[in-house]
Amino acid sequence: ARPIIAIVGRPNVGKSTIFNRVIGERLAIVEDKPGVTRDRLYGIGSWLDREFSVVDTGGIEIEGEDQILRSVRLQAELAIEEADVIIFMVDAKAGVTPADDEVAQMLFRAKKPVVLAVNKVDNLQRQDDIYEFYSLGFGDPIGISGSHGLGIGDLMDVVIGHL
Ligand code: GDP
Ligand code: MG
């Protein structure tokens, strides 16, 4: 079986944008479960001759109160359960938010490698914005830009190193 890379993070940080870049055209499965909307997007990708499955956990959404916090909790649970490596994605423009802290708390308990990706680092000026994310406790944050296609190779080098 292919190793599984899960992308986790609160809504709007750019998970789906990165997912699409990493898998190219090869979208494999869209799974629906009744009740809580637990649509997971699975794709197949490869980097440096390693083939892997990628899960965009952002399809998990819950209606109602505390929707964002509950959604990210479920995403993190799913990733902790089934991933071999977790990409924890945050947003350089937004900075560290309470939902990011929530995800961090959960991922600490996972005995899985976590790679911290700071998305929306669209230019060199914004590179300074990654430092505050050291506070999340996952080591060196990797600045990327999904919309500009920057840093994705560096990110995948680190991710593949954990497989
Ligand atoms: P998700 O909710 O985490 O899956 O996030 P999306 O991939 O749907 O992206 C959320 C928003 O952020 C969209 O408007 C994207 O166009 C935007 N976005 C994604 N990546 C980048 C980036 O690298 N830079 C900037 N400036 N915007 C981005
Ligand atoms: Mg999404």
For residue 38, the model assigns a pLDDT of: 47
Q: How far is the CA of 35 from the centre of ligand 1 (A)?
A: 27
CA-nearest residue, atom 6 of ligand 1: 14
For residue 61, the model assigns a pLDDT of: 56
Q: Is the CB of 119 under 6 A from ligand 1?
A: yes
For residue 74, the model assigns a pLDDT of: 80
For residue 29, the model assigns a pLDDT of: 45
Task: Name residues of the chain where pLDDT drops below 50.
Answer: 28-38
- All domains of the chain in start order, with CATH: 4-161 (3.40.50.300)
Query: Quick one: which atom of ligand 1 is closest to the CA of 56?
Result: 4
Could you give phi then psi for residue 119, rounded to 5 degrees? -85, 170
ipTM above 0.90 for this complex: yes
Nearest partner of 3 among 112, 151, 152, 141, judged by Cα: 112
- The answer to whether the pTM exceeds 0.80 is yes
Which two three-digit tokens encode residue 141?
């944050």
Query: Quick one: which atom of ligand 1 is closest to the CA of 148?
Result: 23
Q: How far is the CA of 60 from the centre of ligand 2 (A)?
A: 9
For residue range 82-105, what is the model confidence (pLDDT) as tens digits? Answer: 899 999 999 999 999 998 998 899
Which two three-digit tokens encode residue 124?
């060199």
For residue 33, the model assigns a pLDDT of: 47
Which two three-digit tokens encode residue 122?
């669209």
